[in-house]
Amino acid sequence: MKRILTLALLMIVAVMTAASVARAQDIAGDWQGTIYAGARELRLVLHVSKNADGSLKATVDSPDQASVGIAIDTIALEGNKLRFTSAPLKASYEGTLKGSDSINGNWTQQGPKLALDFKKTTNPVKTVHKPAAPSDIDGTWEGALDTPGSKLRIVFHLTNTEDGLEATMDSPDQKVSGWPATAVTRKGASLRIEMKQVPGYFQGKISKTLDSISGDWSQGADIPLQLKRAKTEPAAAPKQ
């Protein structure tokens, strides 16, 4: 009788342990991580949910490239190993679930593997910000960098939101538009716009007349950049 009770207790413990592991490996939710490629930083937000049959489905956002809801074609968690692929990005990921709130692994996208660790979060980086009353520098600001052999136009669009100032950057001569700034900081007349995905940043002083911002674009070296408030949208780059 004692042996039967012991076996029964062992079976109960085994069932409880299996249930605990299953709960620990429920990865539905939001996960955020950063890819570091040299000096560049690119944030990714992975949204994981379940189908009716319990299998996983997911999408991924790239806030620093203004891309939201990118398809994840296959995703599976086997034991503590997570794998997913994205055809639109021509990318894949393999990682190891650590506890219930972190995944350590590597991102592969047409090149060498890059370390990418995800952390579970209830407050992922926002890709949409609610508008607020316009600030005194809201609008479009244009300038040009003197580069060897040519000028490179830079355009910033500044918008005040409930979360503070936001900015996007265009480089018409490189046919780039709408790249979101990773951070915008204003202290009095000082303005800093960071673009870690480039990587570079603009640091300048706002004029008292609020019609120009004088400063430097820093990307390996400091290059003077004078921004003027635009009255119209900048012309598109000529077709090659």
Pick the closest to residue 76 from 45, 50, 101 (CA basis). Answer: 50
- Locate tokens 């009770």: which residue? 5
DSSP 81-102: EEEEEETTTTEEEEEEEETTTE
φ/ψ (deg, to 5) at 90: 50, 50
Q: Which two tokens stand for residue 204?
A: 């300048």
Domains of the chain: 27-121 (2.40.128.120), 139-229 (2.40.128)
Burial of 46 (0-12, 13-18, 19+ CB in 10 A): buried
pLDDT at 192 over 80: yes
pLDDT tens per residue, range 158-173? 999 999 999 999 999 9
**Dihedral class, residue 22 (left if φ above 0, else alpha if ψ from -120 to 50, else beta):** alpha
Mean pLDDT, residues 10-15: 44
Q: CB-based contacts of 158: which residues, under 8 Å, 6+ apart? A: 135, 137, 138, 139, 140, 141, 165, 166, 167, 184
pLDDT digits (tens, 9 = 90+) for 67-113: 999 999 999 999 999 999 999 999 999 999 999 999 999 999 988 99
Average pLDDT over residues 127-141: 92
Q: What secondary structure letter does DSSP report for 228?
A: E
Backbone angles phi, psi at 136, to 5 degrees: -75, -5
- What pTM does this model have? 0.74
Percent of the chain having pLDDT more than 70?
86
Instruction: Find out whether 136 and 146 touch, Cβ atoms under 8 Å.
Output: no
